[in-house]
Amino acid sequence: MPRCYGKKPPKFHPKTLLLRDYLPTALPPPETKRAWEYSVSDRTWAASMLGNDQVGDCVIAAILHYIMAAQANVGNPVTFTTQQALDLYSAITGYNPADPSTDQGSSWTDALNYWQTTGCCGHKILGWAALDISSLDAIKQGIAIFGGVLIGTVLTQSMEDQFDKGQSWNAPFTGALLGGHGIAWLGFGRHGQTCITWGSRQQMDPAALSQVDEAYVVATQDWLDAQARSPSGLNLDALTADLKTIVG
């Protein structure tokens, strides 16, 4: 099965907040399990490569995967087409299907800024915040509270081989560096962590955190139901107020 990458190296953006500034200094231990990814069926995920077998639009695919899971968890399931993903990739990066040289991938912060200011397939965010990528607990808290964490990772040949064999991404991470990859990390439990990539639920051993080079959560109405409640009980008010001061 053809697969592409496409996440550019981490890029500074002045709108990026730090999630730790909005959480208690002494958080309780993270929950033992969250599985937001199971709100979407295997068949639906399998049909959601969203062009990442053709071009390096992994960041865009991860955004749409997050929206799919968030909306399904509040009872409003939605799917996207490959053409929608490719159109979004073009809008964010300048990709031109007639010119393969324009397939250069995307940085996470460029995509997040577009999601906030313009919207992705009719969905917008209020803003985003970065997580401490050295802390698995911080990642788990982000997943539990926000319904998922959007990560950037650097994949190695051993990780692609493990994907081909249906195995968890686990150390040692050896072989050639294949490229940066944007992924929606949606669950965790006793068997490890679960992300969505290339139309599959992919398990990750905790050691896979060593391959992550950036991680974000988003504040979005997509994570709220008709009564303005999130499945995790998140209250967006305080975070939204600060986000508005940055947006202006």
The pLDDT value given to residue 210: 95
The pLDDT value given to residue 21: 79
The pLDDT value given to residue 227: 65
User: Rounded to whole angstroms, how far apart are CA atoms 207 and 8?
Assistant: 22
User: Rounded to whole angstroms, how far apart are CA atoms 248 and 243?
Assistant: 9
User: Rounded to whole angstroms, how far apart are CA atoms 56 and 3?
Assistant: 9
CATH code assigned to 28-225+232-247: 3.90.70.10
Q: What is the pTM of this model?
A: 0.92
User: Rounded to whole angstroms, how far apart are CA atoms 61 and 50?
Assistant: 6
The pLDDT value given to residue 72: 96
Domain ranges of the chain: 28-225+232-247
Residues with Cβ within 8 Å of residue 68, at least 6 apart in sequence: 40, 44, 48, 77, 78, 79, 80
Alpha carbon distance, N-terminus to C-terminus of the chain: 45
The pLDDT value given to residue 17: 86
Which H or E run contains 185?
A: strand 177-189
pLDDT tens, position by position, for the chain (248 residues)?
679 999 999 999 999 988 887 766 666 778 889 999 999 999 999 999 999 999 999 999 999 999 999 999 999 999 999 999 999 999 999 999 999 999 999 999 999 999 999 999 999 998 899 999 999 998 998 998 899 999 999 999 999 999 999 999 999 999 999 999 999 999 999 888 999 999 999 999 999 999 999 999 998 988 877 666 778 766 566 556 555 544 43
The pLDDT value given to residue 172: 96
